[in-house]
Structure 1
Amino acid sequence: MCKQWTGQAPVSYESSHAQERKRNSKQQYSSGYSLQRILALSRPKESKQIWLTSFGPNLRWGHQDMMWPLPKAALHKRPTQRLMELTKPKRNFQLNTLKVNRPEFVYSCGRNSQIWEVGRSALESRASERVLQLALPKNPPKEYKEDRLQHQYSCGRVSPIWNVPIRAQTCKERPRTAELAKSKRPHPEYVPNSEVMTTINPTALKAYCTMRVSDLARPKSRGERPFIDSRSPEESIWKVSMPARSATASPRVMEMAKFKGYADGYVANRSVQWPVSRATRRALATPRQEQLSAPIVRASMDHVQFNPDAFLVSEAAKKARCTPRLEELSHPIQR
């Protein structure tokens, strides 16, 4: 029998389970359904991911509770002079001075018509000839011909882009025009998406679940942690019976437990490191090997660029004649 610790006294899980089953069955047969079961199923499923990622106290986000409880001594303790000095706000050096920034609403979406206030002398003053000349819009060239009015394509355009004549408005519809105006039909085998809310049959709404279904729908009772605290660490999660502990495997089980062997002729991979013989360590290279291992020594560019004979063409190269194939390849492609 499994027992669960509730904080006060050990309670038998099977006895409480049987009492709840009887209570639900009485209410189920009296009204046709169990209200407590519906409320239990309507609760959202809790995420167990926090069990695997946190090892401290079980915290829930969304409130202002402290992670660790504060002692009463810390609540009644007075701050030091240094803490009181650090809690003072930063001083605003622009107060009571002429260098005060403009209010925030000047640069926000709710600003007035002008960004900052304009003086009366500026409002009553008259613009000079130069200012009036600069305020004139740019004139288009003489060869420019306006196709359509610009306001028709702006935000304040009228409903039609251009004027429709009365004959076009009163003309009869052609069969070809009506055929082209039809929307494209879907494929004959096209199946539309199912609705989000499915309609439930009235008989299914009035039906009540059996005792077996209610037993299977009941969630498994677990603790607040992903481990069992009611046992010692050496015990197994599931109890193993004594006959299972003392049972011996059959010959068939022993045969099936054997690992798969290697095929005939299998050769394992050669190790990365292998020992080098002493004769190889004491061997001396031949003169030919030393000659081949010597690097090619070329002159540096500092000496080549000062060589006056670096780009001289030999006499044999001057008197050489190209082959017919080279002469054929040297002709440009005619397009």
Structure 2
Amino acid sequence: MATATEGQSGSRIEQLAKPKRVPPEFLEDRRSVYWVDYVPPRPGPNGQTEIIATPRVQELARHRPPSKHWMGDRITPMWPVSDEAKNAPTTERIMLLSRHKTFYDHKLERSPYMSVSDSAKRATPSQRLEQLAVPKQRQDRFGIYETEWGQYNPVSPAAMKASHTERIESLAQSKGYHKNFQDERSIQWTVGNSALNAIATLRMQQLARPRSRTMIRDDYDPYRISPSAKRARCTPRIDELCVPLPRKVRQKKVV
């Protein structure tokens, strides 16, 4: 039993260790982005391209057959009505729907002027309505310390008589200026003698000089390659970087 089990397990392991087969439609890395996934159909011996469609495509390409109850267009919009249709009995629902709308169902717009009924005139409000009808009392009409409208929040006497600590007094002091702080400079000031007698360097004079008209070239070609660039030699490091990676180099297949 042990030998049989080992043999079965060994065959199972060998079966799982086998590499996965490559599907027939698998394509290796493309050498160009313009390659197609499949070979397009080519013309046959008679010069015409024959495309073989699947049964499903042929079924979908067929036109939809007309229904057996389909009837063509009528010759004229007027046709005789049969006696059965004339004498057909109708239900109560159809009779109700066939009736026209009466004018009594329509309600005119209400007038902005209305008369108050006698019962509304003689009505007495409840205690809750009288309580809600009383205007809100405001303690201070022009108060500024209000959380909401009409709710005055005065300062308590304990807060008025409170004394602060030394820490609060130190935090309440304003922050002083830095020792190197300088006020804003005046709009007009005198220029020093060192700035008036300064001599510009040769490079400053060269940059300050306007561009001469003789330096402008109308026949300048930005695509022209200089002879020195044509005779340039690349360094060994550039040659090394230009070589493709060995793992991406593959031999061309000979068909």
Normalized against structure 2, the TM-score is what?
Answer: 0.26
Normalized against structure 1, the TM-score is what?
Answer: 0.22
Larger Cα-atom Rg = 2
